[in-house]
Structure 1
Amino acid sequence: MRQAILLFFSTIIHFNTAFTQQPLSPLEASFRQYQAMKAASVYKFDWIPLGPTLNSARADVVQVDATRPGTMYVGFGSGSLWKTTNHGQSWNPIFEDQASFGIGDVELAPSNPDIIYLGTGENLKKPRNFTLPGTGMYRSTDAGKTWQHIGLEDSWAIAEIAIHPKDPNIVLVAVLGHLWSKNKNRGLYRSINGGKSWQQVLYKDEMTGANDIVIAPSNPQIMYASLWEVYPGISGKNSGVYRSVDGGKSWSPCIKGLPTGRLVGRIGLTVSYTNPSKAYALVDNLNNARDEAAELYKTTDGGLTWRKTHAGPFKIFPGIGWYFTDVYVNPKNDEDVFCLGVRLAHSTDGGKNFTFIGGKVTRMTPSLAQGLHLDQCELWINPHNPQHIAVGNDGGFYLSYDQGLSWMHYNNIPTGEFYDITIDQSNFTIYGGTQDDATVYGPAKEINLNFPDPWKYLWIDPWDGGDGCVSQVDPDDHKIVYYSMQHGYAVRLDLHADTTFVIQPELPKDSPDTLRFNYITPYFISPHQGQTLYHGGNFIFKSQNRGTTWKVISPNLALSANSAKKSFALGALVESKLTKGWLYAGTDKGAFWVSKNDGINWIEHSAGLANHYIRSICPSRFAVERVYLAMTGINSDDLHSYLYVSEDAGASWKSIAAGLPDEPVNVILEDPTQENLLYAGGLRGVYVSLDRGISWSYLGQQLPASAVADLEIHEASMELVVATHGRGIYKLNLRPIQAMAAGKIPLDQDHLFEIPVAKRPWFNSSGGEPDYRTLERTPITFWLTAPKPVTLSIRNADQKILWKTTLNGQRGFNQFRWDLVTSRHSSDYPYFVHYERFLAAGVYQMVLSSAGNNDRVRPLNVVDSVSPYAKER
């Protein structure tokens, strides 16, 4: 009877329809638009990478080539796939120039590690506007040098990949599907020809995706898979475990002994390397109390029956099992089990008892962090030497050769996931909050990965992380800094006294209302008075004493007059720089509110706006009632662009998204000097408009395709700083663009721009050698009316040419960043050290030459750098 029931279920969920092509992800079309705009752009400025690396980023995928242990791969949820071939001394991104850069899973073929399958689309369901969907499956046959797109275009979120141990053309993919909406192209897919065609072999409904798939190494005909009802919540009656005994062609549900019902969430699986009938399932069982939801189950009869391995509660994820729920088994000992949650749990007796792995951690980049970061995402175990393990977590990539007694933390990869940045205008220090890697601050200097990272933690929690959100610097005293964590928790830090004061506001004790804050809660210092702060949840608060006390200055702004815009809380909150007390607030469902009297009265002006998350509001400095707004629909699987302007304080809105790639826009910023000059940060880069949004161009080059989280300008230097969610921070100088916008350069003539003062590296006093930590490249910027070869040369007072280089110039802005090296030498002498010669301090002429045109000449002032250690001495 039991077998008959299982056969009945297997026929319901067994599909053999050959898959040809799914609907393309909208990211494919927007990627082509992005590529075309990037190629056509006349703004060929270099984005300068600033790092940081010390705080690392969330590593969702870790893989090591067991045949070449120095070759390792790390996939960052929103920062692409990185590879090292020298044990992590240096890393390179290997999944660039693709339509999607969010990584779901990566697997090396056990029979040939040069064959790699990559599934795009993050599978971590976080409603924070940066959970990036993907465009399907990719395959490489040359260890990541080149990639082929192999289908499953509508998958959006890929949770797991499993490859046959002997035949790399047999691959199964657990497709989680659209995270925030229904879709039928989800479930478990199988290919027997390396991804040329696919079969959907396990499917339940449009709300249930596949979360995990494992193949028994000793008998690849036996497989285990899990389904997860991921939409609309984090659990459902369709979540469960399935088993196949015919290589994945058909599947039977595993019921006896496992929890069932609408409160079963994510399920992770592992199978013994030697006994295909022995498997483990780690279940997020929300029928239990939140902090006791984790349960580990074991089967020894091929999934027919299961039993819980532990008698007491297993507290590894307190109500957030949707974040983790992965389990792994030692390839040499199937009673040796690892479970991933907030911490890394280890059992040596088949799950009866657990200890937590911590260990001593050494870091490639020294930092204040001390232990193994929390929130474990993936584990890799060397099949030949189980003492050799690697883990990816919210703090990055860790490697151990003694099963976790000691670790090396590879925090030398610039993949920071920033939410927000601010700039100390007095000294150009950048502060930024990151996804579970705290808040960091550092100089606006080009990063050199050969040397220690100069960035530091503003704060870090006792578990070596914590979500950093919004930072602010007191304009009257830059030693007073504000930082925040999730859900409105904000702190004032006094660096004079090294003291902190929590400034999170609360409703009056007798208030009948409930106060709510979004994960990233907006707050800011008034541009008109340095001790005045505003803070926004579903109510807005004001403080006139740096957050020591607060008063409520709004009604519940989540209650829109439009029921479709009923919100949780604010997503953006700002004050006009022109008019004190003019406040603008935007919610997570597109409700826009205005107060022209510092919160005494509020008016909703939401008509004409989409019902999405308002992330950025920019009041104009040039017109009192002009205001710009950017919103994103990524939290509801809407990947279109939404960018607006109002000339009447929001009473009416006009879209200015035309001309941008049709993809989410996260931030809009007006230039501080030119009324018509705008900058927008989108899913893959930064865009510039010279006509207040009528038309747009891609800005710069060498910025990786990564979601732009924030834009800020250091006004003394006119450097535009961009924070990405996945690839760290970059900067670009705006003065040439501002000059063009102001009509100060003739666009029908070649033009060489003024060159900033050039600094030689500091030469140490003991040996006279350059300290390359102090090297700064000098930008030489010029405009060309047409593409052509050009020569840049340096001449001294006697018109002697001391250096020159020939470049293939392009129409528009060009930029060459020079390190001041005039010659390079080599020698076979054993003690030869003077490999590079730098231009001496002095005043020179920089000359731009091209055939048939007059030379363009600018003075170049070269100065010696001051010792970076002078203050220390």
Structure 2
Amino acid sequence: MPYFDYLSNKMRILPVKFILLLFMMLYSSGIFAQQPSSPLVASFESYRQMKEETTFKLDWISLGPTVNSARADIVQVDETNPGTMYVGFGSGGIWKTTNHGVTWSSIFDEQSSIGIGDMELAPSDPNIIYLGTGENLKKPRNFTLPGTGMFRSDDAGETWEHIGLEDSWSISEIEIHPTNPDIVFVAVLGHLWTKNENRGLYRTMDGGKTWEQVLYKDELTGANEVQFSPSDPQVMYASLWEVYPGISGENSGVYRSKDGGTTWELCTNGLPNGPKIGRIGLTVSNSNPDKAYALIDNLNNARNEAAELYKTIDGGLTWTKTHSGPFKIFPGIGWYFTDVYVNPENDEEVFCLGVRLAHSMDGGKTFSYIGGQVSRMNPSLAQGLHLDQCELWINPTNPNHLALGNDGGFYVSYDKGLTWVHYNNIPTGEFYDITIDQANYTIYGGTQDDATVYGPAKELNTRFPDPWKYVWIDPWDGGDGCVTQIDPVDPSIIYYSRQHGDAMRLDKSVDEAVSIMPRLPEDINDTLVFNYMTPYFLSKYDHQTLYHGGNYLMKSTDRGDTWDAISPNFAVSSDPGKQSFATGDIAQSPIKKEVLYAGTDHGAFWVSKDEGATWEENSIGIANNYIRSISPSHHQVSRVYMAMTGINYDDLKAYVYASEDDGKTWKSIASGLPDEPVNVIKEDPRNENILYLGGMRGVYVSIDRGQNWSYLGVGMPAAAVADLEFYEPTMDLVVATHGRGIYKTNLQPIHEMLSQNLSTSTDHFFEIHPTPRPWFNSSSGDPDYRTVEKATFSFWLNQPKRVNISIFDESNNKIWGEDLTGSKGFNQLRWDLVVKKQSSDAPYFVHYERFIQTGKYTVKLSSGDQTLEQTFDVVEPSSPYLVRDGF
């Protein structure tokens, strides 16, 4: 009889007290323990419903870029079919290729989690994949995205099933039994910024149906690593990491098991201890279960000597440091790295991940550093192997074959690092901020450790080289790009910044960059500090005036050559709960230059109405969270909008506010939104009733100043939105995501609907922008597909229905048409201008597609007996020289 049937029958005759005691014992053992659901599950359901029901179905167009890639922290290769590779980006999802990286597809979209912790293919069946959600890098930058637990796929990522550990939030490592894919261990780091008990090491014996907590220290300490011995899976090693409240503690340590992970013993003999032991990585010899290595972030040492490698040859009973001198691979930032790997065929060959990729052939006694020659899928100013190594994969049947993920993306080598291929052809940029040059529609964006790039607002086409380029790049082929500003009078002057307020002024005409980082005047006896992402802007009233926000607001009227402090110390609030480090955002009224705003990382909001001469704090009625976005009104001088996030404090609620009196009183306008972190809010520059908001999973729009919200658009994955900007000549909304690059959509249909007060009960067909025909090469007469742009047909339907869109020439001849099912609300059809497709068996046939000719056309939108019309111009294409240069 099945166990649960047997138990059910016995319950009819067992005493109630015994039944309760039995269930308490089972529950406390972890077998039946049901973790509380992550709040991101409920907010995901709200997001999904709003996305399905929205009437604002305007198309999001992906602009890339790919040239500078993004932080790759998961790499997996199917060793039975090496052309199949997987790459995970912390906030950009999981991507898969089956053709050696020529093309990629995202395989973990529209799930309840967008932060990725770890993923592993089952050694015995590569079609079985376990994926743990929730980033495990404790970066206080408002974009370390928590997760909703574990997922499993049995079809190589085609479909996914959620399998528990709902309260894990951050998963560091997954380890699958070498021969039984249903036995899995998961190292759960837990909540990064608060205490929680659902952390430590978990095991499932039935493929994720049930879980038990097999190693636990306390509510401050999570599990970071777990490893099987490939030759004897009964032998295992694991590490715990005291991750709260800091990045180290006395409870971090190495554990060993000899019974397949049922019981664990702390390893102490020879390993360092003390109050500052940080992250610990582990690896085990493929042939000897008693031989293992531990790479430890020992912060009891000097910062530049924190990295230490230890080895055991007796199953963890004793450990010895392998090197006599300092091992300088992560100077005080080991929380980012500390992974170690061993050659499957030679357990004296060790790889250690830090800022650089360290390599030892003598069991860790001495090290060299792997660099190598790098070839890129997209040409780039970057030349070498990017720094900050996140994960390494070694082919167990061919150890010369390596796959590496780091802050610069995904790299593959077939000669153990002498040469690499960099797959910088995946649009997963982790953007912090964007700026648009309104004169020529060039977009500038700063990214996480992949510098600042600029490029055209053209649809991504991975068939061709990425046209985006670097504004700057550091000597290590990366660097954190933050805010960029373009001088509207002299476009050769570009201001850009890096982390912690490091601002630069670039003169492109002479290719010269100078530091303009502010310093406090000598008469202020205090320290000027900046958040990692430091806000600053170029005043719209004077192209030589800059404002720069730290704990003081700094102002320059000479392009950053000299600075004045024009505020008190914003970090010192009248509210003890709002004591802060520095500003999170600063802003100036677009209609009155005297009005300045500043908001801090703990919810203190400051206002000046006299260009900084005096300030008042207006922080009553708002949360004690990080103010990420201040949007002063374009229409009412005392109106201001503000968004804040609590993600750095494990507060995953939505905080959006409006004030009509410069913040003296605040009103929450978050009602109706998914209850999840919000990063940016913008007021429409043309219509005071329209607001746009960027949240954890996309963009939302309100046409009644925040009383009601709708999801905006189709075609953009659930991605954390970092910034929103308008290209005002055409009213495009450009969106920077932290993990999926940049997108745009055109807002004209919304403006046309509202400005003309069109009825929602009737159908409408909106104005069509002129669209250029592709450029045709003079030598061959063949179209240059880099220049293909799609025409966009936008319309409103009063209910879901079948419609036909057809194009007629000036003689009323139909040259193209398409049927489709429209939704209630705004709809769009994007057309590639191809009027005919044909094939041929002729050996030299080439013109498979025929494009529409330049000229004036009529477009008809038909449904039943109703037909609506718009004119449509197909214009001459851009110069081939501009196409060649990417713009």
Which amino acid is the alignment partner of residue 858 of structure 1?
Q
After superposition, residues 816-855 of structure 1 pair within 5 angstroms as 816-853=829-866, 855=867
User: C-alpha distance in 2, partners of 1:870/1:305?
Assistant: 66
Structure 2 residue 93 is the aligned partner of structure 1 residue 80: yes
Q: Percent identity?
A: 68
User: C-alpha distance in 2, partners of 1:277/1:871?
Assistant: 61
In the alignment, which residue of structure 1 is the partner of 2:373? 360
SS of the residue 1:339 aligns to:
strand
1:322 to 331, 335, 338: 335
SS of the residue 1:209 aligns to:
strand
In the alignment, which residue of structure 2 is the partner of 1:134? 147
Which amino acid is the alignment partner of residue 170 of structure 1?
I
Structure 2 residue 727 is the aligned partner of structure 1 residue 714: yes
Which amino acid is the alignment partner of residue 35 of structure 2?
Q
User: C-alpha distance in 2, partners of 1:598/1:584?
Assistant: 10
Shift of 1:839: 0.9
Which amino acid is the alignment partner of residue 803 of structure 2?
V
Shift of 1:15: 8.1
In the alignment, which residue of structure 2 is the partner of 1:738? 751
In the alignment, which residue of structure 2 is the partner of 1:170? 183
Structure 2 residue 495 is the aligned partner of structure 1 residue 478: no
2:130 to 117, 122, 125: 117
In the alignment, which residue of structure 2 is the partner of 1:148? 161
In the alignment, which residue of structure 2 is the partner of 1:577? 590
After superposition, residues 543-562 of structure 1 pair within 5 angstroms as 543-562=556-575
Shift of 1:749: 1.5
8 Å contact 1:170–1:190 — kept in the other structure? yes
8 Å contact 1:15–1:199 — kept in the other structure? no
User: C-alpha distance in 2, partners of 1:858/1:235?
Assistant: 65
Structure 2 residue 48 is the aligned partner of structure 1 residue 35: yes
In the alignment, which residue of structure 2 is the partner of 1:859? 871
SS of the residue 2:164 aligns to:
coil
User: C-alpha distance in 1, partners of 2:60/2:444?
Assistant: 19
Which amino acid is the alignment partner of residue 211 of structure 1?
N
8 Å contact 1:95–1:144 — kept in the other structure? yes
User: C-alpha distance in 1, partners of 2:603/2:367?
Assistant: 47
8 Å contact 1:108–1:115 — kept in the other structure? yes
8 Å contact 1:677–1:741 — kept in the other structure? no
Which amino acid is the alignment partner of residue 861 of structure 1?
D
Structure 2 residue 402 is the aligned partner of structure 1 residue 385: no
Structure 2 residue 353 is the aligned partner of structure 1 residue 337: no
The runs of 5 or more residues in structure 1 that have no matched partner are 1-13
8 Å contact 1:466–1:485 — kept in the other structure? yes
2:74 to 34, 51, 61: 61
In the alignment, which residue of structure 1 is the partner of 2:3? none
CA shift digits 1:106-138 (9 cap, x unpaired): 000000011000000000000000000000000
Shift of 1:381: 0.3
SS of the residue 2:654 aligns to:
strand
Structure 2 residue 463 is the aligned partner of structure 1 residue 463: no
Which amino acid is the alignment partner of residue 879 of structure 2?
S
CA shift digits 1:449-490 (9 cap, x unpaired): 100000000000000000000000112111111000000000
Shift of 1:836: 0.5
Shift of 1:870: 6.0
Which amino acid is the alignment partner of residue 864 of structure 1?
E
CA shift digits 1:175-221 (9 cap, x unpaired): 00000000100000001100100010000000100000000000000
Shift of 1:17: 2.9
CA shift digits 1:388-431 (9 cap, x unpaired): 01110000000000000000000000000000000101101000
Shift of 1:266: 0.4
Shift of 1:529: 1.0
Q: Which runs of 4+ in 1 moved over 4 A?
A: 870-873
Shift of 1:741: 2.5
User: C-alpha distance in 1, partners of 2:336/2:281?
Assistant: 11
Which amino acid is the alignment partner of residue 53 of structure 1?
T
In the alignment, which residue of structure 1 is the partner of 2:5? none
After superposition, residues 372-451 of structure 1 pair within 5 angstroms as 372-451=385-464
Shift of 1:744: 3.8
2:881 to 833, 855, 869: 869
User: C-alpha distance in 2, partners of 1:786/1:15?
Assistant: 54
CA shift digits 1:576-612 (9 cap, x unpaired): 0111121100000000000111111110000011000
In the alignment, which residue of structure 2 is the partner of 1:9? none
8 Å contact 2:87–2:96 — kept in the other structure? yes
Which amino acid is the alignment partner of residue 348 of structure 2?
E
User: C-alpha distance in 1, partners of 2:882/2:454?
Assistant: 21
Which amino acid is the alignment partner of residue 546 of structure 2?
L
Shift of 1:758: 1.6
SS of the residue 1:398 aligns to:
strand
In the alignment, which residue of structure 2 is the partner of 1:490? 503
Larger deviation: 486-495 or 793-802? 793-802
In the alignment, which residue of structure 1 is the partner of 2:206? 193
8 Å contact 2:694–2:700 — kept in the other structure? yes
Which amino acid is the alignment partner of residue 847 of structure 2?
H
After superposition, residues 461-860 of structure 1 pair within 5 angstroms as 461-509=474-522, 511-853=524-866, 855-860=867-872
Shift of 1:512: 2.2
User: C-alpha distance in 2, partners of 1:174/1:132?
Assistant: 17
8 Å contact 1:16–1:201 — kept in the other structure? no
User: C-alpha distance in 1, partners of 2:124/2:700?
Assistant: 45
SS of the residue 2:648 aligns to:
helix
In the alignment, which residue of structure 2 is the partner of 1:47? 60
User: C-alpha distance in 2, partners of 1:557/1:501?
Assistant: 28
Which amino acid is the alignment partner of residue 875 of structure 2?
V
8 Å contact 2:772–2:878 — kept in the other structure? no
User: C-alpha distance in 2, partners of 1:740/1:610?
Assistant: 36
8 Å contact 2:567–2:612 — kept in the other structure? yes
User: C-alpha distance in 2, partners of 1:798/1:321?
Assistant: 71
CA shift digits 1:613-643 (9 cap, x unpaired): 0000000011110000000000000000000
8 Å contact 2:607–2:618 — kept in the other structure? yes
2:267 to 248, 254, 261: 254
Aligned in 2, Cα 1:637/1:27: closer, same or farther, shift over 3 Å? same
User: C-alpha distance in 2, partners of 1:336/1:431?
Assistant: 43
SS of the residue 1:149 aligns to:
strand
SS of the residue 1:217 aligns to:
coil
Larger deviation: 855-864 or 126-135? 855-864
8 Å contact 1:656–1:694 — kept in the other structure? yes
In the alignment, which residue of structure 1 is the partner of 2:21? none
User: C-alpha distance in 2, partners of 1:660/1:553?
Assistant: 37
In the alignment, which residue of structure 2 is the partner of 1:6? none
8 Å contact 2:645–2:677 — kept in the other structure? yes
**For this pair of structures, how many residues does the alignment match?**
859
User: C-alpha distance in 2, partners of 1:82/1:696?
Assistant: 31
2:362 to 308, 328, 349: 349
Shift of 1:500: 1.1
CA shift digits 1:131-167 (9 cap, x unpaired): 0000000001110001110000000000000000000
User: C-alpha distance in 2, partners of 1:796/1:422?
Assistant: 40
SS of the residue 1:34 aligns to:
helix
8 Å contact 2:786–2:883 — kept in the other structure? no
In the alignment, which residue of structure 2 is the partner of 1:206? 219
CA shift digits 1:345-389 (9 cap, x unpaired): 000000000000000000001100000000000000000000001
User: C-alpha distance in 2, partners of 1:574/1:810?
Assistant: 39
The runs of 5 or more residues in structure 2 that have no matched partner are 1-26
